[in-house]
Amino acid sequence: MALPIVLSRLSKRFGSSNAVDDVSLEIQAGEFLALLGPSGCGKTTLLRMIAGFETASEGQILFGDRMVAGHGVHVLPEERNVAIVFQSYALWPHMSVAENVAYPLRVRRRSRADREAKVAEALAAVDLSGFETRRIADLSGGQRQRVALARCLAMDPGIILLDEPLANLDVHLRASMEETFARFHERTGATMVYVTHDQSEAMAMATRVAVMERGRILECAAPATLYGEPAGEAVARFIGDGRIVDAEVLSGDGAGRCRVRLLGTEADIRCPPGRTLRGPGRVCLRAEGLELTAQGAGLAATVRAASFKGAHTRLSVEPLSMPGLVLTVAAPHPVAVGATVSLRVADGWLLPRAASSVAVPVADAARELA
């Protein structure tokens, strides 16, 4: 049965440095949560603490209502009833596929008939029926990872922890494995925590993504929210290569749209609904929110680099109004480096924290002006 995982004020110190720093997070039963962040941000340490391979310096971990770490408790990994999938597969090379998948069931002294049924079902779930007698050495990397997943399935765990399971696979195989993982998640219904530094992988599979930086969780939200409506500048920059620019909020409808002046031009963009704000703010711009427009009509910029992508040409452009800032835009046709183009800001996101900390609600501002 899937269990929720609750992390409360969890920290891990190695010497004087905090690898995990005051992390609190509730992972729902049956959720697929990705821990995403650059190398060294603490995601593996956090996963190892959930698994029980690391003790907590502070804080606690609950699986459902069972305390597994904290308040002097440290439940050993083998007693936590979690399944773990590593990038190194951790299979027994001298055993066959079926023997590997059956291994945890054998340890639990399940009957032969039960083992055989579970192994057949687990191998079918990862498209490896017919591979029962193959040796691990005779499998590809993707097939080995699928055996590791089948072994997990056969254990029927409530919690599955995955540490960069696709890191050793090539790009094409990774894409097909993303589907396998999604089906695997559906099938097990288990709570899954998936560590990766690859944001496209995290965004494609997870129901929520926790973005980590220097041991802390910056934001934890659904992929579309992180991408479209990030809460702060660090996540806006990290996810989808967003660019942050200063803006002046001119007016807003209170329902999630506002008019801003930015980079010497005006645009209608998205903003947090609720209070209508005006005053200075910070806006996240992404390549797909910018469009080429008729010469002289929008924001003038110089093309600094052009890279042909097949369906479009990706341009790096420098606005004349802000030298040094490099924006990216998808152009429907190639444009020469050095040319001047005009851009229209078709979409952007007014960052909430910057806005609420400096901007004034329109109603109040109007009263002040009256």
Residues contributing to the site for ligand ATP (CB under 6 A): 14, 19, 37, 39-45, 197
Least separation in angstroms between CB 164 and ligand ATP = 7
Closest CB to ligand ATP among residues 195, 271: 195
DSSP sequence for 194-244: EEES-HHHHHHH-SEEEEEETTEEEEEE-HHHHHHS-SSHHHHHHGGG-EE
Cβ-proximal residue to ligand ATP, closest one: 44
Q: Sort residue 130 into left (φ over 0), alpha (ψ -120 to 50) or beta.
A: left
At closest approach, how far in Å is the CB of 180 from ligand ATP?
Answer: 22
Which residue, chain included where needed, has tokens 């806005």? 355
Question: 225 to each of 14, 91, 210, 229, 235, how far by Cα in Å?
Answer: 33, 37, 12, 5, 11
Query: Minimum CB separation from ligand ATP for residue 343, in Å?
Result: 36
Rounded to whole angstroms, the Cα distance separating 119 from 155 reads 10
Query: Is residue 329 a contact partner of residue 287, using CB atoms and an 8 Å limit?
Result: yes
Cα 76 to the chain's mean position, in Å? 28
Instruction: Indicate the residue among 166 and 267 with the shorter CB distance to ligand ATP.
Output: 166
Q: How far is the CB of 9 from ligand ATP (least distance, A)?
A: 18
Least distance to ligand ATP from the beta carbon of 206, Å? 16
Choice between 11 and 44, CB closer to ligand ATP: 44
User: Which region holds residue 296: left if phi is over 0, alpha if psi is between -120 and 50, else beta?
Assistant: left
| C-beta closer to ligand ATP: residue 19 or 343 | 19
- Rank residues 27 and 329 by Cβ distance to ligand ATP and give the closer one: 27
